[in-house]
Amino acid sequence: MEYIWAGLLAIGFVAGILSGRLEEVTKAAFDSAGRAVELSIGLLGIICLWSGLMKIMEKSGVINIIARMARPFLRILFPQLIGNDRAMGAIVMNLAANFMGLGNAATPLGIKAMQELQKVNTRKDTASDAMCMFLVLNTSAIQLIPATVIAIRSDAGSAAPAEITSCIWAASLCASIAGITAVNVFRRLGKVGQREIPGQGDRSLVPPGGTRDLSPCPGKLYHQPGRRVRGRPLSYGNGNAEKKKTG
């Protein structure tokens, strides 16, 4: 992030000097900063609303039910999160909101998911593999009805504004597959030279194929709040269960 940010700014200003558009560039810098504040303020209300609703879902246990339903699908993509119902539930809610095109609801739910992933992240300033997978899925996710695009097309007098829907599905699917593959390749590449911190048990370092079978009983034990799992140090999932018990 350091290099990307510095690179964008440096290239921008240098190119602005070279092309003599310095005035526009400076104006763009201030305008964008202002727009960022507007965006954040715009997000404030909906994020508070959905954070509040998510809290109710957490306390009523609905999140656990949703997470359990989605587990067969999500455990392939997020082997690290088996048993972490809050994270899985939030991920499912975010992907579902994205799928339905409910942009306003998707962002707060996605942030919630990130916060849950951060709780089980061993290095707090560095993205975990689960976070990378979640965000790549999120940015390449399929939308059921691309309403905005259809609206633009129909506005421009298209004979069949919605005809591109299936093309969008197909292209999104290609993107998701490419994204998941890329994450898995990078994850394996990143493993080289990386050492597991003893006791922390970063399960993301285990090759994806072998991970699922490692847990003694993947489905049953972990998702029950308050139940201790024998023979394993504090790790993903359990940490949450304990927190829930005390909190």
Partner 1 sequence: MIRVFLSVFSAISLYAVPVIILAILASGILRNVKIYEAFTEGASEGISTVIKILPQLVGILTAVGVFRASGALDFVIKLLTPAATLLGIPAEAMPLALLRPVSGSASLALVSDIIREYGPDSYAGRVVSTMMGSTETIFYTLAVYYGAVGIKNIRYTLAAALIADGVSVIASAWICALVFGR
In the complex, what is the shortest distance from the CB of residue 216 to partner 1, in angstroms, rounded to a whole number?
Answer: 30
In the complex, what is the shortest distance from the CB of residue 134 to partner 1, in angstroms, rounded to a whole number?
Answer: 8
In the complex, what is the shortest distance from the CB of residue 7 to partner 1, in angstroms, rounded to a whole number?
Answer: 8
Query: Is residue 105 involved in binding partner 1 (CB under 8 A)?
Result: yes
Query: Is residue 76 involved in binding partner 1 (CB under 8 A)?
Result: no
Cα separation values, 6 from 9, 140, 171, Å: 5, 26, 32
Residue 226 or 231: the one with the smaller Cβ distance to partner 1 is 226
Contact 115, 91 (CB under 8 A): no
In the range 184-243, which residues lie near partner 1 by CB under 8 A? 186-187, 190
Residue 40 or 200: the one with the smaller Cβ distance to partner 1 is 40
> How many chain residues are in contact with partner 1, going by CB under 8 A?
107
Helices 103-119 and 238-246: crossing angle, nearest 10°? 100
Cα angle: 99, vertex 100, 106; to 5 degrees: 75
Cα separation values, 63 from 35, 117, 217, 224, 237, Å: 34, 15, 21, 12, 14
Site string for partner 1, 31-70 (x = CB under 8 A): xxx-xxx-xx--xx--xxxxxxxxxxxxxxxx--------
Q: Which residues contact 158 (CB under 8 A, 6 or more apart)?
A: none
Residue 147 or 214: the one with the smaller Cβ distance to partner 1 is 147
Of 68, 70, 111, 244, the residue at the interface with partner 1 (CB under 8 A) is 111
Cα separation values, 176 from 183, 186, 203, Å: 10, 15, 23
Of 68, 176, 206, 232, the residue at the interface with partner 1 (CB under 8 A) is 176
Q: Which residue has the tokens 């090759």?
A: 207
In the complex, what is the shortest distance from the CB of residue 239 to partner 1, in angstroms, rounded to a whole number?
Answer: 16
Residue 144 or 234: the one with the smaller Cβ distance to partner 1 is 144
Cα angle: 208, vertex 111, 194; to 5 degrees: 35
Query: Is residue 150 involved in binding partner 1 (CB under 8 A)?
Result: yes
- Helices within 192-207 (DSSP H only): none
Residue 181 or 200: the one with the smaller Cβ distance to partner 1 is 181
